[in-house]
Structures are given as C-alpha cells and as structure tokens.
Chains A and B, each alone.
Chain A
Amino acid sequence: MNKPLRRIAIFCGLLVFALLLRDNWIQYVQADELKNHDKNRRVLIARYGQPRGNIIVDGQPITGSVETNGTDFKYKRTYKNGPMWAPVTGFASQAYDANQIEKLEDQILTGNDDRLFFNRTIDMITGKKQKGGDVITTLNGKAQKAAFEGLGDKKGAVAALDPRTGKILALASTPSYDPSKFAGASKKDEEAYNALKPDVDKDDPMLNRALRQTYPPGSTFKVVTAAAALENGKYTDIDGPTDSPDPWKLPLSTQPLPNEGDIPCKNASLRQALRFSCNTVFGKLGDDLGKDKMLEEAEKFGFNEEVFTPVRADASIYPEKMDQPGNAMSAIGQFDNRATPLQMAMVAAAVANDGKLMKPYMIDSLRAPNLNTIEQTDPEEMSQPLSSENAQKLQSMMETVVKEGTGTSAQIPGVTVGGKTGTAQHGVANSKNPYAWFISYAKGDDGSPVAVAVVIEGSDTLRGDIAGGKLAAPIAKSVMQAVLETASDK
C-alpha cells in the first residue's frame, strides 16, 4: 500500500503548497491593492486614527482635529469658517470619504506618504504617535473673506489669481456648506449630509461653482475675441474704426444681432466697442476671423481642457463643431460657449500679465510634521495667448471699461484697474435670470498682483451689461483691494 500512500502524501503537499502560493499572492502581490481598496475601512480608520495634518492659509490652519470616543475613529475633522473655505478644502468625513484637497493630499495629511517614511521611522523608534503633514495653500485669507462676504446670500462664485505666478488667491462659492457638520459618522452627520444632496437642496451647496460649474461667459468673452483680433492682425489700431455696420445681421440669417440699449457701435473702434460692449462689433469680428482662429485663441487661454490646481476644474468650452452664426454668437459669449469662473480669471490674468498665462495652482507647498518642506510648487507657464504688445493694448482697452465704461463701479482710487462686465443670457429665449459677470485685474508698479472673475447667478431681473457692473464688479473690487492691502502690508 505504500505507493498510493506516497502519492497521497504528494497530494497533501500540493494542497499545502497551493495555500502557500495563494497566501503569497494575496499578502504580497495583491497586498497594496487590497490595503488601499476603497471599501477597506482600515483606510478610514488610519485616516482618523491620529490627528490629521492641517490645511494652512496665511500661516494659520483653517482645519483642525478633535478627539472623539468612537469605536473606529479616534479623531474627527473640524473646520474654521467651514462654509467660506469649503471650495478650497473640500471635506473629510468619517462616513462619506473625502474630496478635493482633503482627498488629493490625504497621504500627506494622514502621514502615510512615502516621503514621510523617514519621519515615521523616527517616530516609531522614539515611540511617538504618527503625525500628519500640512498642506500650505496659496490662498489669501482677506481676499477669500472679501469674496465670500461679497457674494453673501447670492448664488455665485469668485476666483482670484495672482497673474504673475498663477497662485490662486480666492476661491469662493455660494451657497456653501460647512464640512464640520458631517465630519463624523453619527446619525446627525448623516442627516446633515443627506440634507445637502442636490435632490434635497435645490441650491446644491456642495457644488464648487468656482471650479466645477460652467456658465455662458457673456460679454466677458469679448476680451478673448478682441485678443484674437489683435493676434491675427485683423485690427492693429485699437482706436481706429472697425468695419462694423449697425444693425448687423447674423450670417446665414435675417436675424439682426442686437446691442443692449442705444449705444454708438457703428464702426466703433475696438476700445469703444469694448467700453460699450458692442455685440455687433464683436459678433462680426468673430465671424470675420472664423471659427478656427477663434477656437485656437480660446484654447490658448485654456478653454477645452481641464485644469488641475491640483483640484480638478471642469473644462471650459469653446465648441469645436458649430455653424457660422453659432461661432458669431460664441464670440460674444453666448450660444454653447461656457466657462468656469477660474477660466475667466485666467483670461483676465493672461492679459494683465502681458500675455503670459501662468498655470493656476492652490497648493504652495507640502510640509512634514517636523516643518520640513517636502514639496514646493513652482510657478509654471501654461501658454502665451497674446503678445506682450497686444496684451498692453488690451489692457488699455479694459482700463477704459473701468474708467468710463460699464465697469466704473470697480474703480479703486490710485490703482489702475482693467475689467470687463458681462451678462449672459440664460434659459430658453432668455427666459431665466441672466448671469452677471465681471472679470478684472489691478495693476501696480511691478505688474499685476491680482486678477479676479466674479459670477452671480441672476439674483434679480436686471438685464443688460449694467448687471455685471452693478452686481459683480463691487465684489471684484473688494477682492482686489484685499489683495492690494496685504501686498502693501508686506
């Protein structure tokens, strides 16, 4: 009987061998995948097992951690002035995962990042608990406050950039939410979270309007059209007359493109056209340049591409496929043309920075618990949508808008301000409240420290370009003032 016994011995050996192989497969080969599986609660347990690192603005944390007595999670996230900072921080909830910076920089904040390995090892040897690192943002607290308070109870968003570097200075979105309300995993947190869902709260407070919502940019897009005209040599003299009949019929149509109100647009110069926001002049400009050139210029400004700040911003759209009248309408920021507030701030920033568009970013550096910097973001040039010379011409045009055009309410005494208003029609046959836009920049001796875009989803029935000037421009002004003040403090 020994021969079959030996075979059975081999069979038993194979059974054990199969188990060993399988064990190596799941505990060595697949280990990382299983360890970081999004259903693996240990990720959350680790995330809240020690105080999380903080998100820092102006050297002060805008987040915190508080000890709780839960079975799974020892610490809970807290937020200072949560609603104001929510579009920047995102949330970190024991029950509902995390998003935006809280999610993207989770490894640093929990201290699990590979770059913190050395710190962890030292802590382990000295018996200290693991600590998370900090995320230092580029934001400006005063500008953020001005933006958030300026928006008030209106629905809208503000994005502000430093045109010279691309640093994001303000990112506000209203109505907002307080991420502290559902940072835990209790019944109360669940209720708070469910109340924020878009199908419960129609205002969708968790939508980050500054980055994730696209609006028709309206007349603010005329800045891009003007840039395309200058860049393509269609007109070189901004004060010379243009070939612009008034009324001007849309191509392939008998429909005239109307101007808002009774304004002098016939053969108006580019400066005057921008000052009065002439639809006829810019509509015809877009048509004369053609769709391809318009598309090319829009894409140089960053349209049709997502931006990672590192928080993702939706791609703004200049449609690639449309007919001739569609292109003419898009040239004045209507039709299917859409932009995020961040995108329009980038347009203003590129003009203000003499034509050079810097890549927007909101994380300045990552810091280890021992305060060593482990990563520093360097400003990066994204594109050059227009030449320095043309940019200065466009600046001059935008400054006229603020000095004596539709944007006078953005004037700051003693400071050069350029801007453009916009009111975007919205809804079928312009039936809904329009969006009020304002994009602007302020300029000092050493270039422009701030460019800002403000959008307000129609808070009242004001029509016409005056809406952007009346509703949005004062907010832009206070944001610019806040930035200028902090700059002069330094």
Chain B
Amino acid sequence: MSSSTTNTTTISTAGPPSRRNTELAMLVFAVIIPVFAYANAGLALSDEMPSGMLSYGIGLGLLAAVGHLVVRKFAPYADPLMLPIATLLNGLGLVLIWRLDQSKRLAQRAENAGQVFAASAPNQLIYSALGVALFVGVLILLKDHRLLQRYTYISMVVALILLILPVFFPPRFGARIWISIGSFSIQPGEFAKIIIAVFFSGYLMVKRDALALASRRFMGLYLPRGRDLGPILVVWGMSILILVFETDLGTSLLFFGLFVVMLYVATERTSWIVFGLLMSAVGAVGVATFEPHVQQRVDAWLDPFAAFKTGGSDQIAQAMMAFGSGGVFGTGLGQGNSDLIGFAANSDFILATVGEELGLAGTMAILLLYGLIVERGVRTALAARDPFGKLLAIGLSAAFAIQVFVVAGGVMGLIPLTGMTMPFIAQGGSSVIANWALVAILIKVSDTARRPAPTPAPTTDAEMTQVVRP
C-alpha cells in the first residue's frame, strides 16, 4: 500500500501471508499417507492391493480438495495446518477401521453373539463426507464467528436438551449417551461440547468483569456474586448430573475441564482453578461412592490384569498387551492382533491398534498431531482480537485436548477409562461430524484473527479529524 505513510491506525495492513499454498501442499501428504497406509494394510492382510484403493484415494482426495477450495474462498487467512491434520487423522482412522473390518476374530465374535458382522469403514466414509459437508457449511454460512454471540442463551437451551434427550433412549453398552431413531443414532455429547463452548464464551464475555471484580473475598478465594455465576453453575451442574445418570464419565470430565479453563481465562483469576479442583474432587468422590460403574473402572485401572482372575472386562489388559506387543516400531499395519480387545476395538480402543501396528513411533506421531491441532487452536486464541473469539477458540481447543487426554490416557492405563472416542480416528458418526464442525469454527476464528486489518478509509480528511482532536 503506497498510502501507508498517512496511515493513522495502529494495526498494520501488512498482515501475515495467507499460506493457502502451504495448506495445499500439506493436504497432498495428508491424502497420500493414508492411501499408502491402505495399500500397506491390504498387502499385509491378503497379499494383494485392496480393491477399494482407487475409490478410497479419490474419495479422500475429493474431500480434501473440497475442504481446501472452500477454505481458500471463505477463510483465506485461516491457519494452514488444521485442515491437513484433520484430513490425515480422518484418513488414517478410515484405514485402521477398514483393517479391523477384515478381522476374522471380530466377525466370529459377532457371529457368536448372534449378530451380523457389518463392516464399519463404508459408514465411516459416509460420516466423514457428512463431516466435511458440515465443515463446508460452517465456513460458508458463518460469515463471522462473532455472530454466534447472539445465540448465547439459545445454545444453553440446545445444549441442555441435547444432554437430557438420551435419558429417554435405551442404554447401549451400559451408557445412555445415544439418541437412536430407527437405525440412525447420534451421540449428542459430541455436539454438546461445541454448543456449550459457544454458550460459555458468549456469557463469560459479557460477565467476565463482574465475575472477576465484583466478588467477595472468602478464605483467600474470590467468590463471585450468585447472579453472575448462577447460569454457568446451573448448566455445568445439570450437565454433570445428567451425565452421571447416563454414566458417561468422559463427557462429564470434559465439560468440567472446559468450564474451569474458560472461567479461568475469562476472569484471569487463579482462584478459579483452586475452586474448580476442589469442586471436581468433591464431585469425583461423591460420584465414586454411589456409582458402582465408576468403582469398577477405577479397579480396572489399578489392576488391569485382575479381570483374568475375577472375570469382568479384560479390555484394558488387552489394550496394554497390544501396546506392549507393538513395541517401538510396531508389527506393521494389518499384522497385529489388536482385535483381541473385542467389540470396542474400532471405537474407544482404536489407539491400541495404532500402538500395536505402528508402534511407539506411530503412536507418538498421532499424539503429536493431536497436540499440533491443539497448539494451532491455542495460537488462534492468542491471536484473536475479540474476547468472544479468544474464549471460543481456547474453549474448543481445550475441549479437544482434554478429550484426547481422557481417551488416550484411559486406553493406555494412565487414568481410569471413561469411554470417549479419539477425535477423527475412532469409528463413530457423531464424533467425526462434530469434530469437523469444531475444526471449521477454529478455522473461522483463525481466519478472522489472521486477516489483515481493512485498509483505512481514504485519508483525505485525516487532517480534519486531527483538528477535531482536543
């Protein structure tokens, strides 16, 4: 801009480069790597190239291309890493699920249980397409992420409805977290995490000063006024209660973490962390005392191999042995026996397949990819210029990070298993779709954050403005 000499704004117009071509280059890798992985698994399993290889490659490539073109058009300054990483994880997840579909052992297991063994990979591909469609939809329809502020209280209601609904549907695998209509079923908790983040961001943005300053000091802690904290406590408390009744521990933990993180960021008061930890301790002890489901999981975490003596679920032990048998370099795709874990091998426990077949190296790579998405999200929050965007970005990133930690930590025996799915990798429609939406919102926020400031208005009356200044 040649007119920069007369520019009086503090924001430079020389914004960061858009990096769209970087994104394209990365996307090529994000498509090629899963295609090679697919070939690898096929060769290992049946000594021939998998028949669906071409269509799989084209399908994944198309999804990536559509995503890229829409980002290029509707969020040109977005962070260049998020779409490729999501594509790569989604693509690898599809390969892993396809690989587990070929397991004779799982087929046998379904047959013994009187069920028809259905391959999950085709469904997962459809869900991925739906996810990318939602990604595209969000990018196109959401002109500016700040529009979401308008829906603060509506999101609160929607989130609560989503959380309450599964109570009215029959439980599956011991948890009431599904809404099923006919053969179609969704897990509303996955969507609720995004909607609750929207509500928290909108509400905290308005109330953060009140929460931070208008508080009484009590035993070294700042206690806010009830009318400021009330709605949040209600939402949080209800979600926890409902989830406890639905025995969906992972999601309760996720919401609690989200709540504490966002409150802390909004108020900048460390006392919230202390307050949050105290509440979580009380909650955890309380739930653990009357909920046998929780006790079982804690016992299984303390001694995974006890299941072989006392009966009960040996999934954790099987997952640990899968990790151990993988060792540093893994057995190679298609050459492990992670299907010994049983029915959850392709959903909650899919990381064990990564561990066994891709080894320590592969698992660390996957964990680092997740870490990278979170890092880009936090960076977006730092760069965002509006408090709502900051809160939304950090909320979504933290939710993502906590979810990855809770699932991976549970599968690896670091913390008690709580039953959630690895974003993008695990089989499950709601999870894939919701996480694509999450990435879309982050991309939108980062686009706004990195977008160069609009060119100042023609400066002909700049002097006049100065005259007005006292």
**Is B a genuine binding partner of A?**
yes
Residues of chain A touching chain B, judged by Cβ–Cβ distance below 8 Å, are 1-9, 11-13, 15-16, 18-20, 22-24, 26-28, 30-35, 37, 39-42, 45, 71-72
Say if the beta carbon of B412 comes within 8 Å of chain A. Answer: yes
From known contacts A24-B360, A28-B328, A34-B320, infer whether A9 and B409 are also in contact, taking CB-CB under 8 Å.
no
Is the pair A31, B328 in contact by a Cβ cutoff of 8 Å? yes
CA distance A3 to B397 in the complex (A): 16
CA distance A13 to B328 in the complex (A): 23
A27-B328, A39-B305 known; A16-B374 Cβ under 8 A? yes
Q: How far is the CA of A1 from the CA of B391 in the complex (A)?
A: 9
A40 touches B374 (CB 8 A): no
C-alpha gap A5/B380 in the complex (Å): 10
> Would you give 23 A-B contacts (Cβ < 8 Å), ordered by A?
A1-B268, A1-B387, A2-B382, A5-B265, A5-B390, A8-B264, A12-B401, A18-B409, A18-B414, A19-B412, A22-B412, A23-B360, A24-B360, A26-B413, A28-B360, A32-B324, A34-B324, A35-B324, A37-B324, A39-B305, A39-B317, A40-B325, A71-B104
Total residue contacts A-B, CB cutoff 8 A: 133
- The answer to whether B390 touches A8, judged by C-beta atoms less than 8 angstroms apart, is no
Partner of B265, one of A1, A19, A27, A37: A1
Tell whether, in the assembled complex, residue A12 and residue B378 are in contact, meaning their CB atoms are under 8 Å apart. yes
The answer for the CA separation of A8 and B260 in the assembled complex, in Å, is 11
By the criterion CB–CB under 8 Å, are A16 and B368 in contact?
yes
Closest to A26 in B: B323
Give 6 closest A-B pairs by Cβ, nearest first: A34-B324, A27-B360, A16-B371, A15-B405, A12-B401, A9-B378
Assembly CA distance A16 to B405 (angstroms): 7
Is A3 within 8 A of B268, CB to CB?
A: yes
Closest to B393 in A: A5
Q: How far is the CB of A292 from chain B (nearest CB, A)?
A: 46
B275 → A minimal CB distance (Å): 14
Provide the residues of chain A in CB contact with B104, threshold 8 Å. 71
Interface size class of B (residues with CB under 8 A): 35 or more
Tell whether, in the assembled complex, residue A9 and residue B375 are in contact, meaning their CB atoms are under 8 Å apart.
yes
Note all chain B residues with C-beta closer than 8 A to A24.
Answer: 360, 364
Query: When the two chains form the complex, which single residue of A5, A8, A12, A19 contacts B409, counting CB atoms closer than 8 Å?
Result: A19
Other A-B pairs, 20, CB within 8 Å; known A23-B412, A27-B359: A1-B266, A1-B390, A5-B378, A5-B382, A5-B394, A9-B382, A16-B374, A16-B405, A23-B323, A26-B412, A27-B323, A27-B328, A27-B355, A28-B360, A31-B326, A32-B324, A34-B323, A37-B324, A39-B314, A42-B321
- Let me know if B445 is at the binding interface, CB within 8 A: no
Residues of chain B within 8 A (CB-CB) of A39 are 305, 308, 314, 317, 321
Across the two chains, which residue of chain A brings its CB closest to B106? A71
Q: Residue on B with the closest CB to A3? A: B268
Contact among A4, A30, A35, A42 for B268, CB-based, below 8 A: A4
User: Chain B 308-335 against A: per-residue CB contact (8 Å), 1 yes, 0 no?
Assistant: 1000001001001101111110000000
Q: How far is the CB of B216 from chain A (nearest CB, A)?
A: 22
Chain A nearest CB, measured from B365 CB (Å): 11
